[in-house]
Amino acid sequence: MKLSKFALVQALAVFVLAVPAVSGQTDLGSSVLKGAYTEEQALRGQALYYQHCLVCHGEMMSGLDQAPPLAGPQFSSIWNGETLWALVDRINTMPPTQPGSLSRQENVDVLTYMLWYNGLPLGSKPLTTEKDLLTAMTFVTP
């Protein structure tokens, strides 16, 4: 259930931030909260966003007309606790008139721009494009 998964992630995130010594695969939320993408990647994502996404989702990701927000509580309330792979999978269906038109790398880059826009910190390593690894990472907002 969404709530319990969210609560678990949030609890873990708080725990992880308070106790830096904890590490390992069980810290579901820690990686996005500790820097999961690079600025260079997010800048690429930004360029892609402006080219493919902005016209419907808006410069401020607040949504326009029928397209939903991609940042802020209306986005995080739906996606908190979901895997990064689920987000990449969704981005891959966009834009609706050209689903699957962006490469995996491009989809991931767009996601990193969204992570930046949602206030998640920059890191020293780029976000992976591998499905298995993305499935092990969870979207949480700070």
Residue 2 binding another protein, by CB under 8 A: yes
Which of 117, 126, 127, 137 is in the footprint of another protein by CB under 8 A? 117
Identify which of 33, 32, 3, 7 has the alpha carbon closest to the alpha carbon of residue 18. Answer: 33
* DSSP-derived secondary structure for 6-39: HHHHHHHHHHHHH-TT--STT-TTHHHHT--S-H
Residue pair 64/106 in contact (Cβ under 8 Å)? The answer is no
Q: Of the ranges 17-25, 62-70, 102-110, 126-134, which one interacts with another protein (CB under 8 A)?
A: 62-70
DSSP class of residue 141 equals -
Give the CA angle between residues 82, 123, 3 to the nearest 5°.
Answer: 20
Residue 141 binding another protein, by CB under 8 A: yes
Which of 11, 14, 22, 78 is in the footprint of another protein by CB under 8 A? 78
Least Cβ distance, residue 21 to another protein (angstroms): 25
Q: Of the ranges 21-29, 58-66, 103-111, 126-134, which one interacts with another protein (CB under 8 A)?
A: 58-66
Residue 14 binding another protein, by CB under 8 A: no
Strand partners, 67: 64
Size of interface with another protein, in residues (CB under 8 A):
53
Torsion of CA 62, 112, 117, 101, to 10 degrees: -20
Binding region for another protein (CB under 8 A):
1-4, 39, 42-43, 46-47, 50-51, 54-56, 58-69, 71-74, 76-79, 82-83, 86, 89-90, 93, 96-99, 115-122, 141
